[in-house]
Copies of this chain bind each other. A is one copy, B any other.
């Protein structure tokens, strides 16, 4: 007999279970298998995993699981067999690394703004380096998601509980926390003072193709804007109900991007929903009181919008390069 533990569980769980089973004379092999499924891509992530990690010392359990995962293993997905503790750490470590990667490019984006470089081109050039990889390297307002904070909390607690300092992860989290402030500063700078101003925010989910708002940069920006006296009008294709639980009732939720834009002193793209690229920006220009777009995800075509007369502000695009 054998039993598979799906993560997340604290590091050490499986070893403890195994010891207890053994002490009771029960012969069950325990396997720790971290699951890598991200919001909005769960089916693809399940069918095309980058690797399967099995934490166990039972060769029989490995054989059985390879049979179960045969369709995936036959596509060449590598299987890594390791001990429980390592398997239990993989997901949190992976999350922590990707958070660091995103914060790294976000810090460079700030520098790009100062020296007339373009963070989007820079990220492209960095990402093509085979030692780096292009994914999770887009400058933008913030990373989020309900698992991300929990994974990083758990890893940070494990480290501090063992007297180990994870300086890089701490720095990455600190950078992430302050990114929304930078966006609000940009808006504030453009409209002079936020008090009494009206800001439309398009997108509330922490990323497209999900209704999760946990750790969403959009929500952080909305809160910050309201604390400075601005009125906020919001639109999201699917995440309004979830946002209502997070935000004060002072927010006005709209049933279209155009309704959100009406009378606004600024329009903020808060989530990279692809449909926002296809909006009728002539119409939006007519609806806004001031043609200011702050694109926290570098989603839109800056050159086209500027040509249309918008004041366009992206992230890390301090240059003439569009």
The answer to whether the Cβ of A279 comes within 8 Å of any Cβ in the partner chain is: no
CB-CB nearest in chain B for A130: B50
Check A53–B103 contact: CB distance below 8 A: no
**Partner among B93, B107, B112 whose Cβ is within 8 Å of the Cβ of A89:** B112
A94 vs B125: C-alpha distance when bound (angstroms): 9
For A89, what are the chain B residues with a Cβ–Cβ distance below 8 Å? 108, 111-112, 115, 117, 122
**Partner among B51, B100, B104, B121 whose Cβ is within 8 Å of the Cβ of A82:** B121
For A90, what are the chain B residues with a Cβ–Cβ distance below 8 Å? 122, 125-126
For A83, what are the chain B residues with a Cβ–Cβ distance below 8 Å? 116-118, 121, 319-321
A36 vs B132: C-alpha distance when bound (angstroms): 14
What sequence of 0s and 1s flags, for each residue 143-184 of chain A, a beta carbon within 8 Å of any chain B beta carbon? 000000000000000110011111111111011000000000
The answer to whether the Cβ of A259 comes within 8 Å of any Cβ in the partner chain is: no
**Partner among B104, B112, B122, B131 whose Cβ is within 8 Å of the Cβ of A168:** B104
A111 vs B175: C-alpha distance when bound (angstroms): 23
Q: Which of A78-128 contact B (CB under 8 A)?
A: 78, 80, 82-83, 85-90, 93-94, 96-98, 100-101, 103-104, 107-108, 110-112, 114-118, 121-122, 124-126, 128
Q: How many identical subunits does the complex contain?
A: 2
Beyond contacts A11-B115, A15-B116, A51-B128: 19 other A-B pairs, Cβ-Cβ < 8 A, are A12-B115, A36-B129, A51-B129, A82-B121, A82-B122, A82-B125, A86-B118, A90-B125, A93-B108, A94-B125, A101-B131, A101-B132, A107-B164, A110-B164, A111-B162, A131-B135, A132-B133, A133-B133, A167-B171
| 17 chain-A/chain-B pairs, Cβ below 8 angstroms | A78-B128, A83-B320, A85-B117, A86-B121, A87-B125, A94-B126, A97-B126, A98-B132, A103-B168, A107-B164, A107-B168, A108-B166, A111-B164, A130-B133, A131-B136, A132-B133, A167-B171
A12 vs B85: C-alpha distance when bound (angstroms): 49
- The range of chain A's interface size is 35 or more
10 closest residue pairs by CB, A with B: A114-B162, A85-B117, A82-B121, A131-B135, A51-B128, A171-B171, A167-B171, A133-B133, A86-B117, A83-B321
CB-CB nearest in chain B for A163: B114
Check B125–A51 contact: CB distance below 8 A: yes
A131 vs B159: C-alpha distance when bound (angstroms): 24
For A82, what are the chain B residues with a Cβ–Cβ distance below 8 Å? 118, 121-122, 125, 321
Say what secondary structure dominates the interface of chain A: helix
For A85, what are the chain B residues with a Cβ–Cβ distance below 8 Å? 112, 115-118, 319
Tell me how far the C-beta of A121 lies from the nearest C-beta in chain B, rounded to whole angstroms. Answer: 4
For A51, what are the chain B residues with a Cβ–Cβ distance below 8 Å? 125, 128-129
**Partner among B100, B117, B125, B320 whose Cβ is within 8 Å of the Cβ of A100:** B100
CB-CB nearest in chain B for A98: B131
For A104, what are the chain B residues with a Cβ–Cβ distance below 8 Å? 96-97, 100, 168-169
What sequence of 0s and 1s flags, for each residue 175-201 of chain A, a beta carbon within 8 Å of any chain B beta carbon? 100000000000000000000000000
